[in-house]
A and B are shown apart, each in its own frame.
Chain A
Amino acid sequence: MTAKGKVYLYLVLFMFVLSLAAPFLPLHKPETIDLDSLQKPPGFAHPFGTDHKGRDIFSRVIYGAKISIGIALTAAAAACIIGSLAGLAAGYCGGMTDSVITAVVDFTMSFPALLLAIAISVVLPPGIHSAMIALSATGWTSFARLMRGKVLTVRGLSFVDAARAAGCSDARVLFIHILPNCLRVAFVMMGIKLGGFILAEATLGFLGLGVQPPAPSWGAMISSSRAYILTAPWTVFFPGLMITATAFCFNLYAEKLKETCDNRMP
């Protein structure tokens, strides 16, 4: 792995760790409402300003990292593993397996994702976990479709035939010969999804699902302040910046990670 790729990962991890350590830092409490300092612009007492309930945005942004990054990471990992396995199986085995998996994928994707998310968040007690599950339940299909398409291409290549002719087992062909060739797209997708999940979490928060108030998640911060974008732009800007920066780091990291797969390419 290149040094540069690691930097982005470290940046995100640093945010995450900082957020875990936040209770021990000299910060305002993220939930403390101060009706005497509503919508104060960024300044000495509040580096990122305060929101329309007088809460310190800087500390909310720090505390929020734990929630937003945590949800995105878990959900993306789960979606990637489930989706990739399904896609590999469908693409490689073909036949009934393919038909069934494709049907399930089509079936899941054709559902309005929101309804699925709502149903899941409602059946499970609301909170961080339900948001994670809701996101991975709707996100795995992208991986499955993409991997299936990729496997279909790779499967026809001569080295796969060669491996099979050499007597490799299906599992070996699949995981040693085909999988490495499909990883790149999966990682590109993973990078995209990580950022996407941070954004999707915001949409869930907007509907009153997932993270419950007053827990600070970046998405919820934006959606609760978005109407004030003209009068108090900092209330939207800083959480937005964090979301964008984090998604950016995830994407760059995935990009760099991609390059390390190269030596295993044919």
Chain B
Amino acid sequence: MFSGGFYGWGMYLISLLTMGGLYAVLALGLNIQWGFTGLFNAGIAGFFAIGAYASAILTTPESPNHLGGFALPVPVGLVGSMVAAGVIAWPIGRICLRLRSDYLAIATIGIAEILRLVLKNELWLTSGSRGITDVPRPFESWPTPWWQLAYLILVALIVLALYLLIERGRRAPWGRAMRAIRENSESAAAAGKDVVSFQLEAFVLGSMIMGLGGALMTHYTKFIGATDAASGQLAAKHFQSMGLKTKVLSAPEATELAKLTETTYFGLMIAWAQEVERYCNRVNQDYAEVASFYDEIKFFPPVKYFPGVIGGHCVMPNIEILSKFDNSALLNAIKMSNQAKVALDASKKVKAEDRKEVPAGSVR
């Protein structure tokens, strides 16, 4: 139906304006905090993320990967995002607002970073770095150019409504009190204004708007994670433009297998090093000397592996996952090699302790 460069430019403009509108929502939130009351909140990303996750959890269909999936309508998600951001902002504000400019900036960045770690690590809540997929998008059933346009109009209306509300508040006695606090909090206090509660109001309100911005973003992007080649390429392009190295695999299963086998490959290399070490031990030779010869061979992997015990949180658990999926003699060999290495280290330790107990001069 549509064709040519003009249509492409139009689509690009729409997505650019939508993003601009989302940033405007965040800026309006920050304006309440910084512009009205002079609180420099540098942890915007934290409240943005809370809003995004809250709305995603409320509106997605039931899922075993994360909390809920309550399948509620999108407007409920938007309101929920504001409530969640506000509820979390309140105690943070209570504690942090006594800090001044630079210190408040540092503290809020620290708190945003803690929030990020929680969202990343609490798998039951957010499914961690796998993210939440299937977030519903308003106007989803509409054909291609129209849902984008409708979403842009929705975002623009929200920006307009927020602006008018905030502007109304700014001109009201409430806004005048806020600005008085920003200019000189002592004289505002002397005039009978409760400085702390005004600041807290501004902080919570601003954070709620930031949460709303996050929710609008998550319903717009829907999810990152490719289901088809085209959207995968699009995401890859986007990440590459940000300077990240990106590789697109054709299916989620391929991505998952790539992750599992990558760590297993690492485990295999170490298990091989363990095996070589055992052979070295048998003839009383040094592993490093034997392994140094590998450097001469140009088509070998450039990194030599050190025959330690395979520990950590990914290599062995991933081998277990792969083993459950299908049994493999090679994978069993890695597991056995690692157990043998544990036993070897333990016996070395025992020998070392034995040696200590032997009195000097005695023959054994």
A binds B: no
- Which A residues form the contact surface with B (CB < 8 A)? none
- Point out residues on B near A: beta carbons under 8 Å: none
